[in-house]
Amino acid sequence: MSVVKSGVLALAMLATAPVFAAVTIDIDPAKPGAVINKNVYGQFAEHLGTGVYEGMWVGPKSDIPNTRGWRNDVVGALKELHVPLVRWPGGCFADVYHWRDGIGPQDKRPSNVHTNAGGVVEIDEINAVGTHEFFDLIDMLGADAYVNGNVGTGSVQEMSDWVEYMTSDGGSPLARLRAQNGREKPFKVAFFGIGNELWGCGGNMKPEYYASLYSNYENFLRAPEQSRPKMIASGGSGFDTSWTDVLSKELKGRTIGISVHQYTVPTGNWDVKGKALGFEEGEWISTLANTLRMDQLVKDHVAVLDKNDPEKKIGLLVDEWGTWYDEEESAKSALFQQNSLRDALVAALNFHIFHEHAERVPMTTIAQMVNVLQAMILTDKEKMVLTPTYYAFQMYVPFQDAKSLPLAIKDNTSYTLGALTIPGVSASAARAKDGKVYLALVNTDPHKAVDVAVNVAGTKLKGAAGKVLTSATMDAHNTFQDPQAIKPAAFSTRAAGGKLSINVPGKAVMVVALEE
C-alpha cells in the first residue's frame, strides 16, 4: 500500500487514481555500468536578462540579504542541489566578454552594452560580476568552475592572459595583478572552454577553421601543472555531427570534451515555439516527444566519437539543454519564462538519457540557473520562488557519482495523442555513494496512473521510500503569490507477499530508495 505524506495540492489523488497497467522493471546490481558523473547535473549562469544581476547578484549594498553581493536565499537554495559545476559567463555572452573589464575596483569598471543571442537580446553589462566575484560564488557553492573564453571578439593573447591571471602561482605580472585585486592564491579552474557556438553567435565559422583556431588557442593557454584546466572544444548544434567529426579527428589528446547544444521546443518550430503555461495536451506530448530525441542525438554523436576516438578520451558535453518557449510580452527580462510540472518531466527524462550514456557523457549544464529559460529559481526583487525543475534536480541528487545499474522495462505502457506515441514509463537505476539502490521513474501520461513491479536480482525487496512530484494540472507552477503550489511529497510503499509494486500517478516524477 502506498502512503503519501504531504498536504500538497492534488496529491490526494494518489489514493484514488485508477491503475492503468502493470509494468515490470528488472534491475541487475551485479552488472554495474559506468559512474554517473556528478557534472551531469551542472548548471549554467550567463550574463543574460536577470540571470546574474538581480537573479543572483544584488551587490553588497543591497537591502536584499546577501554575502559580498550574492543573494543569500538563492545561494542557500542552490547549495541544496549540491551544484557540482557552474558554466560562466556564457553562452553567446562569452564571445563578447573581455575579462579585464571585470577586475579591479567596482567603481572603476566600465559599463558595456552588448547585443546578444543572435541580435535579439540587448544586455547592459555593468561588469560588477567578474572573475573574482564568480569564484567567490563557486567557493560558496562548493562547485567546480567551467569558464568559457572569448574567441569571437577576443584574441589568443587576451585568452592566454586570462588563464594566466586565474591560474599562475608565480610572481608573474598577472599573478601580482590578481594579488593586488585581492586574491593571492590561484583560482581553481576545473574546465576552460575555448569559445561558444562558433557555428553561430561565436563567429559563423566552419568546423575546419575552428579546429585550427582551437589548436592555436590551446597551445598558448598555459598554466602550472597543478592548476591546469581541462580544455573543452565548442562543438555543433543539435543533430549536426560534422563538428564532432572534425574536432574528434583534429584535437585528439588536446581536449577532454566536445560540446553540443540541444533545446526542447514544444512545436519544433523556432518561429512559434509554444507557450510556457496554458498549453493544450498536444503541446504536453510534443514537448516530451521532442525532448526524448536527445537519446538519438547522443547516439549519433557518440557513434562519431567511437569511430574517431576508440580509446574514449573525449567526452560529449551537452553544455546547453532545456526547454525554450515563446517569450511573453509581459516577461520581466530577456528569456524569462515560467516553469511548470512539464519542465520537471523534461529534466527527468533527460537525466535518464544522460545516465544511459554515462560512459560518454561526463558533463551537461542546463540553461539556466536563475530567471532564464528552464531555470531552477525565479526572482522578483526581494522575492524568490523554486521551480518544478529545481525540485527535479533536488530529487536526483543521489544519482551524482552513483554507479549506473542496468534495468529492463517489460510490458511498458504507451502514451498516445493524435499521431504521437511515446513510452509511458521512463526509468533509471543506480547504486549511490550511500550504498543504496535508487530508482527514478517518470510517468508521461497526464491522465493514468501505472503500477510498476520492481525486481532486483538476488535481493528480496522490503519496500521503497522517497519523493514524488505531481499535480492536478499539466502546467502546475509556483508563483511569487503562491510559491508552494507544487513541490515534492514524501512517498513510501511496502512489499506484499515478497513483491514490490509502486503506484506512479499520472504526469509524475518519482525517485525512491529501494529497501533491501
> Of 478, 471, 387, 500, which is closest to residue 6 (Cα–Cα)?
471
* Residues 461/516, Cβ–Cβ less than 8 Å: yes
Catalytic pick from 197, 250, 283, 356?
Answer: 197
Query: Which residues are CB-neighbours of 103 under 8 A, at least 6 positions away?
Result: 109, 130, 131, 132, 165, 177, 181
Pairing mode of beta strands 449-456, 437-443: unpaired
Q: Which residues contact 461 (CB under 8 A, 6 or more apart)?
A: 454, 455, 495, 500, 514, 515, 516
DSSP 3-state assignment of 110?
A: coil
What's the CA gap between 15 and 157, in Å, rounded? 64
First to last CA, the chain: 17
Q: How far apart are CA 355 and CA 349, in angstroms?
A: 10
Task: Kindly tell me the burial class for residue 432, based on how many C-beta atoms sit within 10 Å of its own C-beta (0-12, 13-18, 19 or more).
Answer: middle
Determine contact, residues 17/503, Cβ cutoff 8 Å: yes
359 noted as active-site residue: no
| Cα angle 330, 333, 338; round to 5 | 65
One of 46, 133, 218, 320 is an active-site residue; which one?
320
What CA–CA distance (Å, rounded) separates 440 from 406? 13
Does 218 qualify as catalytic in the annotation?
no
Q: How far is CA 403 from CA 38, 273, 435, 457, 511, in A?
A: 11, 37, 10, 16, 16
Give the three-class secondary structure for 463: strand
Nearest to 14 by CA among 25, 5, 23: 5
Helix 281-292 and helix 341-356, axial crossing angle in degrees, nearest 10: 20
Torsion of CA 93, 97, 102, 107, to 10 degrees: -80
Catalytic residues: 197, 320
